[in-house]
Structure 1
Amino acid sequence: MVDVIASLSALAELPGVPERIAAARDACEQLRWHEALRRRIPEASAESRVRGAQASAALEGATVPLDLVRDVMRGAAQWPLTPDPVELVARGAVTATAESEHVRSLVTRAPLQALARLHVAAAADLLPAEQVGRPRLEGETSAEFRDLGPAPAAGELRERLDLLVAAMTAGAAVPALVVAAVAHAEIATARPFVRANGVVARAVERALLQATGLDPTGVVVSEAGHATQGGPAYLGALAAYGLGTPEGLGLWIGHCADAVVAGAAQGAQICDAVRAGRLT
C-alpha cells in the first residue's frame, strides 16, 4: 500500500518547491490581513467565485463576459433558454464554482461526496443523467485532455480514486498547497468523469485551499492564476505531472504555487474594489 502522506511530503521537498510553497503561503497570509476582509468577507469571496468561474470556463475554451457571470451568480440574469455549447460549458463552470463554497466542509472529510456534488453542478447540462455525479464505468471513457494521453481504464481509475481520497484527507501532515495541487492534477489526468473533469478539478482546488486554511476567506482566485499563465502552460504543467518524474511533479506544484500567488494578487484587487465600493 502506498504511503500517501510520505509521498506527498516528499513532493513538498523537491528542488525549488519549498520556496514556491512559501511564496504562496506568504501571498495568502498578506491577503488575509487586507482591511476589506475585516467585515466584508462575503462580498469579496463572492466576487472571487465570479472571477474564478469565468477563468475556469475560459480554460475550457468557453469565453463569457465577466458582467454576465456576475449577474447570473447573484441572480440578476439567467442563461438563455436554449444555450449554445459555449454557454453550456460556462454554465457548468459557474455552477460548480458556486458549489465549491458548499462542499468545503466535505472535501477533506468525504471527498467522494464532494466530487459527486461538484460533478452534478458541472455536468448536469452536458451528459445524460445516468452519467452525472459518478465515476466512469467499464467501457466509458473521456475525450478530455487528449494531450495527456488516453484516460485510464475503469480498473486503474478505481485505484487512482483511492489515492485521490487519501491525498484529500491527508490533513495538516502535508502542506495545503501540495494537497490542492495533487488533487487538481489527479482529477485532470485520471479523468474520473466522462466530461467536466477540468471544471471539477479547479473547483476542488478552490475548496481545498479554503478548507485546509491556506485561503480561509476564499478570496484567492486560483482559477485566474492558472488562466493568467495561459492554456498551453496549464496543459504543459499537467502533462509534466503525468510523467511522474521528480522534475515533472515539481513543475506542476510550482505552477500551482504561482497560480495561488497570482490569484492572491487578484484577490487583493477585489478587496480594494470592495473597500472602495467599486464592484458592479
Structure 2
Amino acid sequence: MPADPLAPLADLPGVAEAVDAARVACEGLRWHEAYRRRWREVRAEAGLRSARASAAVDGARVTLDVVRGLATGATSREPGGAALPGRADPHVDRALGAVRAAAAVERLMPELGARGSATLPPLPQLLARLHVAAATGWLDDDAVGRVRVAGAPQDLTGLGPAPVGDEVAARLDLLGRTVATTRAPALVVAAVVHGELLTLRPFAAGNGVVARATSRLLVTARGLDPTGSVVAEAGWAATPQGYLGAAAGFATGTPDGVAAWVRACAGAVVDGVARARHVADGVLAGRLPAD
C-alpha cells in the first residue's frame, strides 16, 4: 500500500480536472459580497437546504418551510396525517434527523477566515455523533450511534450487500487512519469517505445522511469550501438514481468506478456553488429564494 493510499486517485481519468473545477468554483464563491459580513446567515440557510436535500435523497421529501420549522422547533413531528393518525410522520422524522446532523456539522466547521486547519474529532467519534443526531427518535435506541456488529443494514439496499462483522470495523479503522494522514485534495478525501460510508453502511439505518454530512464537513474543514455553504446535496436529490449508480460504481473498487464517483462528487460541488451563490444573493437582497 502506498504511503498515502489516496495519492494515486489524482491520476485516474478526469479526476485532476474535476478537482480543479471544484476548486475554481469554490474560490469564486468566496468573494461574493455576502461573505464579507453575513457569511453566518448564508451558511445557516445553506445548511437547511443541504439538510432538506439530504433527506430527500433518502426519499423523505418535505418543504423548505417544514425544514425551517424543524430547525426552530416550530414544526411538530406529529401527527402523520390521515395515513398515520397520532403517529409521527416518517418523512418529517428523517428530515429532522438531517437538520440535526447539519447543525452538528456546522458546530464543527471553522469560522470563515479562521487561520490554521480545523481540528475534528477522530472519524469513529464523528460518525457516532452524527448518527445520534440523524437517527434519534426513529431508529431503535440500541442501534443509535453504534456500528453494526451483525445483520444487514436497513437502508440503501440498491447498493447491494454490505460488509458485515469484523470487516466493517476494520474498514472504518483504515478509513479513519487514512483521513488522519492523507495529503490528498479535500474533494478527493470527502468523496472517498462519502463513498466508503455508503459502501460499508456501518449503521443499521441512516447511513446516507451521515455520509453526506461527513462529506460536507470535510469539504469545509479541509479548505475547499471555507464558506461552508455549498449545497452539494441538492444535485443528488434531483437525481437520486444517478447518485446511487455512481456510489455503486465506487463500491466495486475498480479504477473506472472510483474515478466516476470522484468526478460526480466534484460535479455536485460545482452545482452546489451555484446554489450557494443563489442563497448569498438572497441574503444580500433581504429576500431568500423560495427553493
What range describes the TM-score normalised by the shorter chain of this pair? over 0.9
Q: Distance in 1 between matches of 2:66 and 2:78?
A: 11
Counterpart for residue 250 of structure 2: 241
Q: Normalization by structure 1: what TM-score? A: 0.93
Q: Distance in 2 between matches of 1:217 and 1:269?
A: 14
Q: Distance in 2 between matches of 1:223 and 1:178?
A: 16
Native 8 Å contact 1:54 1:64 kept in 2: yes
Residues 151-160 or 53-62, more deviating:
151-160
Change (3 A) 1:193 1:267: same
Q: Distance in 2 between matches of 1:20 and 1:196?
A: 29
Native 8 Å contact 1:107 1:204 kept in 2: no
Could you tell me which of 206, 219, 229 is aligned with 1:209? 219
Residues 177-186 or 154-163, more deviating:
154-163
- For the aligned residue pairs, the C-alpha RMSD in angstroms reads 1.7
Native 8 Å contact 1:109 1:169 kept in 2: no
Does residue 100 (structure 1) correspond to residue 105 (structure 2)? The answer is: yes
How many residues matched?
Answer: 275
Instruction: Give 1:166 deviation, angstroms.
Output: 2.1
Could you tell me which of 1, 10, 13 is aligned with 2:11? 13
Could you tell me which of 157, 160, 171 is aligned with 2:171? 160
Q: What is the DSSP-based 3-state SS (H/G/I as helix, E as strand, rest coil) of the residue aligned with 1:133?
A: coil
Change (3 A) 1:268 1:18: same
Native 8 Å contact 1:226 1:234 kept in 2: yes
1:225-258 per-position Cα deviation (integer Å, ceiling 9, x unaligned): 3223x01110000010011111000000000000
Q: What is the DSSP-based 3-state SS (H/G/I as helix, E as strand, rest coil) of the residue aligned with 1:169?
A: helix
Q: Partner amino acid for 1:112? A: P
Does residue 200 (structure 1) correspond to residue 198 (structure 2)? The answer is: no
Native 8 Å contact 1:108 1:169 kept in 2: no
Residues 254-263 or 104-113, more deviating:
104-113
Native 8 Å contact 2:54 2:233 kept in 1: yes
Q: Partner amino acid for 1:240? A: G
Counterpart for residue 88 of structure 1: 93
**Which ranges in structure 1 are unaligned for 5 or more consecutive residues?**
none
Q: What is the DSSP-based 3-state SS (H/G/I as helix, E as strand, rest coil) of the residue aligned with 1:102?
A: helix
Q: Partner amino acid for 2:280? A: C
Q: What is the DSSP-based 3-state SS (H/G/I as helix, E as strand, rest coil) of the residue aligned with 1:163?
A: helix
Q: What is the DSSP-based 3-state SS (H/G/I as helix, E as strand, rest coil) of the residue aligned with 1:193?
A: coil
**Which ranges in structure 2 are unaligned for 5 or more consecutive residues?**
80-86, 111-117
Counterpart for residue 181 of structure 1: 191
Instruction: Give 1:213 deviation, angstroms.
Output: 0.8
Native 8 Å contact 1:17 1:254 kept in 2: yes
Q: Partner amino acid for 2:154? A: A
Change (3 A) 1:249 1:232: same
Residues 155-164 or 244-253, more deviating:
155-164
Counterpart for residue 120 of structure 1: 132
Q: What is the DSSP-based 3-state SS (H/G/I as helix, E as strand, rest coil) of the residue aligned with 1:6?
A: coil
Does residue 111 (structure 1) correspond to residue 161 (structure 2)? The answer is: no
Counterpart for residue 115 of structure 2: none
Q: Distance in 2 between matches of 1:113 and 1:191?
A: 16
Residues 194-203 or 70-79, more deviating:
70-79
Does residue 74 (structure 1) correspond to residue 72 (structure 2)? The answer is: yes
Does residue 149 (structure 1) correspond to residue 154 (structure 2)? The answer is: no
Q: Distance in 1 between matches of 2:202 and 2:286?
A: 42
Q: Distance in 1 between matches of 2:119 and 2:196?
A: 14
Instruction: Give 1:108 deviation, angstroms.
Output: 4.3
Native 8 Å contact 1:56 1:199 kept in 2: yes
Counterpart for residue 129 of structure 1: 141
Counterpart for residue 52 of structure 1: 50
